[in-house]
A = this chain, B = another copy of it.
Amino acid sequence: MPTTDEIQAGFKDVQDRICDFLAQADGRRAHEDRWDYGKGSGGGVTRVWEHANLLEKGGVNFSAIRGSSMPASAVTQIQIPPNTPFLATGVSMVLHPWNPHIPTTHMNIRYFEAGDAWWFGGGIDVTPYYPVLGQVVEFHQALQAICNESGYSYAEHKKNCDEYFFLKHRGETRGIGGTFYDHLRDDKEKAFKYCLALGRAFPNLYRPFIEANRDTVYTEAQREFQLYRRGRYVEFNLVYDRGTLFGLQSQGRTESILMSLPAAAHWRYDYHPAPGTPEHKLTDFYLKPQDWATISVQK
């Protein structure tokens, strides 16, 4: 059984590995800030890229905090009485590359203790602007392999992701999904290994998107569409995201919580891309849940 210290150390190691990968991919190392959790004990290490080479904005946070009262937003399936002391540790990452042909991506692994209860959660998802079907399929097949090796159901965690990253007021998913899981609390070792496997797989999961698309030329109109779509990312994170709400409710470090927001976002009143355009296909096809791992890709 992994101890709490081992879990924290394992998560911290995931942060380091991801940051090494990104430093190489971007050509620039992250800016780092260490912070203490004022409302309890512990703290975190925030690493941020801004206006870098590959990344317009990106952040990889590690935190491990202890507090005296578990915020309501973190818990939906487990009854935690008010004023229960808690521990929360995790790695949270959001990357917004400059190039609209490279998707935005988000990954999170997390572990909670509250009173006698403990549980793991996590997931990864991808938000493309100009998706390439083959890349989407490869990404989901790789996730399926991780789930299979870890003894968890890809079908279930993929469905969770589609349901969680859904903008009700827009009637669309945030992106092409991935996996999402919460309240894993049957087998501590198995759940911890699954979180680590996901975190360690990140470079291999995201590298194909970078390599295939980083040199793809884009137009000003494509960049504008990316900024418009980033508005949706802001809407999701501020209206729906439980991690963001947990952070704000637990009075965490605002700048670390909101590092997930893009450097720039645009809103345009009642904009609808013309049918037949790639922009229209994004909402019409890609932002509706599909069986990506088994969909047929025409060569």
Contact = CB atoms under 8 A, between A and B. Distances in A.
A58 to B, nearest CB: 10
Instruction: Work out how many copies of this chain go into the complex.
Output: 2
Contacts of A31: 269
B255 A248 contact: no
Interface in A123-170: 168-170
Nearest to A171: B254
B238 A169 contact: no
A42 interface: no
A266 interface: yes
A94 to B, nearest CB: 11
Interface in A172-188: none
A299 interface: no
A254 B235 CA distance: 12
Nearest to A227: B264
A259 interface: yes
A208 to B, nearest CB: 28
Given A238-B238, A238-B239, A254-B170, A267 B57 contact: yes
Interface size class on chain A is 20 to 34
A39 to B, nearest CB: 13
Interface string A233-268: 011001100000000100100110111011111111
Given A50-B268, A169-B257, A261-B267, 8 more contacts: A33-B270, A168-B248, A169-B248, A169-B251, A169-B258, A239-B239, A255-B269, A263-B268
Interface of A: 31, 33, 48, 50, 57, 59, 168-170, 227, 231, 234-235, 238-239, 248, 251, 254-255, 257-259, 261-270
What are the 8 A-B residue pairs with the smallest beta carbon separation, nearest first? A238-B238, A261-B267, A255-B270, A169-B254, A169-B248, A48-B269, A264-B266, A238-B239
